[in-house]
Chain A
């Protein structure tokens, strides 16, 4: 059961972030980004789908990927708080993606080295490459905006101040994740710290940004303790599915 829950946490991270990014579609600052945003959302949602499917199989109760995504409420979602943060502006959106991808890339690379779960290994092989270009795309924007105009630099600093407090949760293993680590399915989250700091440090140096001290990190997502925004996100996402119980789409 624990492995199932640990995979569910990962799937929720990807779906919720993919949903947030998809909200930009048609509203981005330039056409090139209107193409890039759905691309990244697709990567994340694609990963979520395979992970939900795997989680459902491990659970063994006959649930589908859609049951997982559409029939759990906000207290049952297990995503970290970072990914549910609202888009706010392009600076927040790019920084959120950078923080997440800079964690997931080493996580998937480590997974490839150690996991005993073949499905998870398959996901890792694909997602590791995707996360590399998410880092590149988001990282380049953080640099452009951080070292751009006065306004963009201010917005970038505001984004760091708003989002850095959510990054600590990335490195925390829930009891379920700890069991999945012990069983050799997933790598230890805290071990990603050095690789993450390395990427963020390089980007921030070029972006003229500083990582703030975080005396009071925000956590709770793995226990289903979310911000108020997630409920609205899920209400929207699940509205059609829930209005037609049992229908096929």
Chain B
């Protein structure tokens, strides 16, 4: 589903200027860096952190949407939502695999998620309260994800860039199906339309916070930009998203909950009102309304499944021993 502007990257590195210079020349020449290539430690660490956060976001993101699978109000919607949530899990799997090429295991990353050491997109720490949230998440949250992720298809690290190509195709489909859910509600009964407006009111600000702090306050962007892990700044992406989304809301006759939102002819884009950065940092730091429940659910799934994973390994070992004894 989504990767957020990277939280807390540390791009510091200790290699010689010559090594860094040669590496930078490859990046500048748009050559892809592959797992077996020499790379600065800071580059590797930044990618492990970013891809890990992205993978965790996909996995945790299964929970708020999964919350509505059993209640989806038509069989067609139920099937589409199941397929969508499955896609998110699939994205998690590719991304863990891409991170593993950098020498970190899925188990290690999973433990870091459970211990709170690794972050995931804070958007998933908000609750899905009505069916309309499923539409709004597809439209806004997946829409914001696409803005972030399309440039990642050109990321300098090969495995991440290649994984993102498929991920983006699926996200784009998710975004359209989300919009279609919201359109159906907006054109439905007054109750359905109110449900859509309520969901838009709750998800709008968290969605535009997904792009991360303003450029002036974003400490780690410069090195990531130079390494071409990141291609656009937080504010550039946020602007693109708002400019694309406002006409879509107007078409549905839904109101974006920002009284300061207005077209700026000079910049050919929308100006928006102030973002509540206190809320942003509160949620990023783990105090979002669903933060504790999300990690509790992930840990419960992992812990309750321990005996299954252990049995699978034991069985494989027994099979191997029997095969060897027979040879």
Minimum CB–CB distance for A19 against chain B, Å = 6
User: Are A152 and B305 in touch, CB under 8 angstroms?
Assistant: no
A124 proximity list for chain B (CB < 8 A): none
B106 proximity list for chain A (CB < 8 A): 31
User: Is B77 on the interface with A (CB-CB < 8 A)?
Assistant: yes
* Contacts known (A45-B79, A247-B189); A145 close to B311, Cβ less than 8 A: yes
Which residues of B line the A interface, CB within 8 A?
59, 62-63, 66, 69-79, 82-83, 85-86, 89-90, 92-93, 96, 106, 131, 184, 188-189, 191-192, 297, 300-302, 304-312, 314-316, 318
* Contacts known (A152-B310, A249-B74); A46 close to B79, Cβ less than 8 A: yes
Bound complex: CA A25 to CA B192 (Å) = 27
Interface segment, one of A36-44, A78-86, A111-119: A36-44
Count of chain A to chain B residue pairs whose CB atoms are closer than 8 Å in the complex:
142
* Contacts known (A25-B66, A38-B83, A147-B318); A66 close to B75, Cβ less than 8 A: yes
Quick one: which of B90, B301, B304, B311 contacts A144, CB cutoff 8 A? B311
Interface segment, one of A127-135, A185-193, A210-218, A233-241: A233-241
* Contacts known (A19-B70, A236-B70, A247-B192); A148 close to B82, Cβ less than 8 A: no
Q: Is the interface of A mostly helix, strand, loop or mixed?
A: helix
Which residue of chain A has its CB nearest to the CB of B58? A31
4 tightest Cβ-Cβ pairs between the two chains A and B: A29-B305, A148-B311, A152-B311, A29-B308
B191 proximity list for chain A (CB < 8 A): 244, 247
User: Are A25 and B307 in touch, CB under 8 angstroms?
Assistant: no
Q: Is the interface of B mostly helix, strand, loop or mixed?
A: helix
* Contacts known (A25-B62, A148-B311, A248-B188); A69 close to B305, Cβ less than 8 A: no
Residue with the highest number of chain B CB atoms closer than 10 Å, among A23, A39, A247: A247
User: Are A45 and B311 in touch, CB under 8 angstroms?
Assistant: no
User: Are B312 and A144 in touch, CB under 8 angstroms?
Assistant: yes
User: Are A25 and B184 in touch, CB under 8 angstroms?
Assistant: no
User: Are A145 and B308 in touch, CB under 8 angstroms?
Assistant: yes
A248 proximity list for chain B (CB < 8 A): 184, 188
* Contacts known (A66-B75, A151-B307, A152-B308); A23 close to B83, Cβ less than 8 A: no
User: Is A164 on the interface with B (CB-CB < 8 A)?
Assistant: no
Contact flags A27-39 to B (C-beta < 8 A → 1, else 0): 1111111110011
Minimum CB–CB distance for A104 against chain B, Å = 19
Which residue of chain A has its CB nearest to the CB of B110? A31
A149 proximity list for chain B (CB < 8 A): 307, 310-311, 314
